[in-house]
Amino acid sequence: MKLLEYEAKRILAKYGVPVPKGELATTPTQAQEIASRLNPPFVIKAQVPVAGRGKAGGILFADSIIEVKKAAEKLMGMQIRGIHVHSVWIEERIQTKKELYFGITVDRHSKSYVAIASSEGGMEIEEVAAKTPEKVIRFTINPQCGFRPYHGRQMAKRIEYAGTQSSLLGDIFHSLYEVAVNYDAELIEMNPLVETYDGNFVAVDARIIIDDNSLFRHPEFKDRILEGELSPQEIEAAKNGLAYVKLDGDIGVIGNGAGLVMATLDVIQLYGGKPANFLDVGGGAPSEKIAAALKIVLSDSNVKAVFMNILGGITRCDEVARGVLAAKKKLGIEKPLVIRLVGTNEEEGKRILTEAGIHVLESMEEAARRAVEIVKNRE
């Protein structure tokens, strides 16, 4: 569950993390009224649960109340990565001396949280790690003793802060850890966390992703899954019990099992392709669920071909084949399908598809290469 920025900031503020003064608007007129209660200059931010809003034009600046209204009108008519902008966050713009990064995420290798800090904020932390890895500080958190304020101060010192500023950062870092634990966060980050000219620190952007499996502990967010703040594909996937994440590529991906789907994404990129999504149908998926998965993936206009990678265990290959044919008949699928089918009832599944004129491959690598070639040839 991806919280919107304003939700994340309200939570952080409750835990004592400094954030800019701001309010949520759902109409341009309301945005103008909010601006009259704040001090200029202003920042107007589209509230959508995706990263990279700034690059997509979803963050605007204004010096006057009239400019705030115009910016809100512009943003509320936008779509960002296929998601309509229904609300904007109006806040006071912070005069920034330096941008930092701090976040906490799950390290599945060590089975614990890991805190990450950098003296280079305002950009993707992966980009910082690739270009200047020495500026990324990692601290694996022992789940038995947790993350203490002095751990935060140690990390602050490693990004070259000392004295009062080190204490301020240590407290902010510790507060973020408390939020992560109490809200079952898979990821929580402040990017950027800015240093102001008076020596203080403010989280001018915040992001929280809550583990879906913990939503029974957070009923205030559970109903959000179908409230329209997700992409149409994510909403449809949730209705059908499918795990779906939209990506930026043009090769649709369907698999059974999160690990297999992740491996599929990797092998597509290995051969020079770009996945358009992550979609896991889970184990034992019946033909109806396979058909629903194809419909969801193909509803993305960016998709030029679909790579279906099925390793049949409790998922029967013949059920997969029937789902493919049902979807092909109902949807009138014209885009190329590349199918790798191995496992339970494999021969029957291959027979069903082959008789329908659909070629089936056994090698994941060969199928990925074929999908990438098809897309490149279509271009």
Catalytic residues: 101, 189
The pair of structure tokens assigned to 313 is 């265990």
Q: How many CB atoms lie within 10 A of CB 135?
A: 14
Indicate the residue type of 27. Answer: T
Indicate the residue type of 46. Answer: A
Dihedral of alpha carbons 212, 234, 22, 209, sign: positive
Q: Would you call 96 exposed, middle or buried from its count of C-beta atoms within 10 A (0-12, 13-18, 19+)?
A: middle
The pair of structure tokens assigned to 111 is 């089975």
State the maximum Cα–Cα separation within the chain, in Å, rounded to a whole number.
Answer: 74
Long-range contacts, stretch 266-270, CB < 8 angstroms, 24+ apart: 267/364, 267/365, 267/368, 268/307, 268/368, 268/371, 268/372, 270/368
